[in-house]
Structure 1
Amino acid sequence: MAPAKRGRTAKTDDHHSKSPGSRHVRQGFIISYPPRKYRSITHRAMTSAQKYAKQQHLEEQVHFIIITRDNNKPNAYGTASTAHGPLTWAAVAKAYNEKYNVSVTAAAMEKRVRQHRALWLSNHPNYPTTIVYAKKDKCLQTPCPDTSARERRDRSTHDLLDKRDANEHVAGWLPPDDIRNQSDMRSYIERGTAINTGVVTIQILNGHGEPVDAISIDCHIFQKSACLLGRLRSSELTLEVQLNGSAVAAIQCYVLEDDHVKGLVLDRWRMLADQAEEVELELDELDLLFDCTEDGDAARTFWVEAVCAAGLSEGLLTRKKCGIALAEHVRDLMLSYA
């Protein structure tokens, strides 16, 4: 006898008479139909309370869909609405999904209303069958000019040519010579030209008589500052101003300003050294310069050389307030001289 297969029971032909309606006999095998996994599963019948609760839930959903669709505001049972019309089915589906936490389409909403609206209206006789919606304000539109197709085509072609010409001459057009000569552009470009006679310009000169900066103020304000200047005319005013700055201010400018100002301050220090002029500089101020600058800075090298050249290096190192960076640079320079 062949081995038994899955889903079949190998038995002799003597047992074929049992339950003939549920088994099929073929070549000495008994086959059961259908398999257990395909047998239908019976469900328990719903009770009356469960059926009533389900029906109430369905009616509540239909009620929500109809009220939301009609968009009758502010009174859902009124005959006139302040809205301009019913909501779209897409908007109804969105509100339905948000309320019941589901995901249905607009077509499903339309089908529910089409199938259940008549029954719902019979259960709600006070609901209006006709709703008057508010009218939308018409926007006045400017009438289009009555032009032919040829005029519109010619105009568009002309505009296209103008745009192309403009793009080809961007930042490349210069006015003719006669127009540029009449405009007197030279007076606006050249610096130092007196354009406004009501302004007094004060030039600030350094020790060599070279202009460093200029200050411009109104003439009437300048003449009110002193009785002598008030009796002079604007063209007769000539004034030289000498500014005396402290060493701390010079160090602050060197540390805080840009490279150009640093160069001016350093040139000023070198000029004073060349002229053998005395500079009042405290040890705290010199430490401030070394604390705010990095190694290899030009100002550090200048002041260390100045201190050593003046013979103040040994006295500076003996002072307790001497900074570490300043002392190290002075020692290195002294060792290089030894």
Structure 2
Amino acid sequence: MVFTVSLTALWYTCLSAQAPPAPPPTIVIRQGQGRLLPSRPFRRADEATPPLQRQDTAQAPSVARSAAKRQFYERHALTHAGDPQRGREIFRNDQRAKCAICHKVSGQGGDIGPDLSHIGGKFDRPHLIESLLEPSRQIVEGFRSSVIVTVDGRVATGMVKEGPPGAITLIDSDGKPQVIATANLLERKESAVSLMPEGIAEVLTPEQFTDLIAYLESLWPGGKPTPGAAITGPIQLPDGFEIRTIATGLTGGTALETTADGRVFVCEQTGALRVIKDGVLLDKPFVKLDVDSTWERGLIGVTVA
């Protein structure tokens, strides 16, 4: 298999091993939802724990309604501009959204989650929407929560921070710290579920949600967008078409190709050839090139032969 990527007028070729035969290429639209692990004070192991409920026919309508509501909020935020100033107030002061408890912007806010001061220059609107509606879909490395089990059977979930000598500090989703002696730790493991709870669509209206997205989208480094990020705001489509998000988190996507094994290779103008596998954008680029990405220059094409 030969990958040829176009750097304006310069062609760059890299070789990889021949891929085994595979089914016809498909692009997977990722669907899913997370379950927030306990982030309340410690629960003793001998306390009664309600059994996990199956998503049987009795639960199906509720699950379907939740998915439909997320899709409605997504469509609204994709097709309406929103007001960044109103979104700023929601981010800073809305006690339902609780954004500023975990996130900093321009030095103000909490430090449980990533600093969002430049988030609009890194991620496009679809990625921002996904991050709020489905926070466990993609978790920034270094900000995964941990599940802690103590020797006396207590369990808690939160972000582990450095504590006093001989202890760790566990901060829950409300920003409340708990100090745990390391001698009392039985087990500690990373969680695949974000500490940021799902359900923002339950506390904000579609208009408020779109305002919040507009505010996050406005947060560019130095007030300037990154290459490929100059198009902002709602997406307008002709009647009869709909928007489907395949993957988010790309910076200045310029071209893509699909391989026989179903992977999607996407060029980022800034020089990275990214890979989408099974509907998930892989963290590590397939190849990273040093390019001039100003104006129409940069990584602008890929061919799979």
Q: Report TM bin, short chain.
A: under 0.3
Normalised TM-score (structure 1): 0.15
State which structure, 1 or 2, has the greater radius of gyration over its C-alpha atoms: 1
Normalised TM-score (structure 2): 0.16
Larger RCO of the pair (alpha carbons < 8 Å, separation 6+): 2
